[in-house]
Amino acid sequence: MRPLNIRFMGRPLFKERAYLLIFFLATGFIFYFLGYAPLVTKSGVIGAEVDKLRKEAADYQVVVSSAEKDVKRLEEIMEAYKAMEEGLLFVKERLPSVREVSAILREVSGRHAGINFLSIQPLSVEDKGLYMRYPVTLQIRGDFPSFGQYLSSLDASKRLIGVENINMVREAQDGVLIKTELNVYLLKEGVL
């Protein structure tokens, strides 16, 4: 039997197939080495850079989160500081210094309707650590409503004044004789 000699455009078909195969192989190699391989290399480099950027972004996110916590903590500290300053102002108003004793005594023994001060006797100052207690014994003559108003004025005072040992004796014609002890609290020098 004789081999088939099929021809295509005047050439044997086997040769055409070989040429086509060589053409496709050459095209594949050219495409691979000039197009695909460099893209794969670049995509690997780009992938590594993307991974590096993702890691940096995660690191920055940790830093930002830490900074946000620090800012929140700073805000809490500032609020606490503001509250402490307000408390300090309150203490300074309510607890005057020893230098203000005479002004406080004038405030305590000033004019009050229906009250006559018979005697004001300051006692010795007692050291209580951060503050001092300054007791003052008063003898007052007046009526009950006037004494109640006097106690209300002491309570409304911006000074911290305590009232202790109230002793009332009713007198027939002059109203009530009242003996009481006031405790004026003072801020110790150099404490604040």
- Do residue 5 and residue 90 come from a single domain? yes
51 and 17 in a common domain: yes
What is the tally of structural domains in the chain?
Answer: 2
Q: What is the pLDDT of residue 71?
A: 93
Question: Which CATH number fits the domain that encloses residue 144?
Answer: 3.30.70.60
> Residues with Cβ < 8 Å from 179, sequence gap 6 or more?
137, 138, 139, 140, 165, 166, 167, 169
Contact 95, 186 (CB under 8 A): yes
Say yes or no: 81 and 22 in one domain. Answer: yes
Q: Establish if 38 belongs to a structural domain.
A: yes
What string of pLDDT tens digits covers the 192 residues of the chain?
Answer: 555 555 555 555 566 677 778 888 888 888 888 878 787 788 888 888 888 999 999 999 999 999 999 999 999 999 999 998 888 777 777 777 777 778 778 887 877 888 888 888 888 888 888 788 889 898 988 888 888 888 888 888 888 888 888 888 887 676 788 898 988 888 877 666
Same domain assignment for residues 82 and 114: no
In a shared domain, residues 111 and 87: no
Predicted structure pTM score:
0.52
In what helix (H) or strand (E) does residue 76 lie, and over which residues does it extend? helix 37-94
Same domain, 112 and 88: no
Strand partners for 161: 184
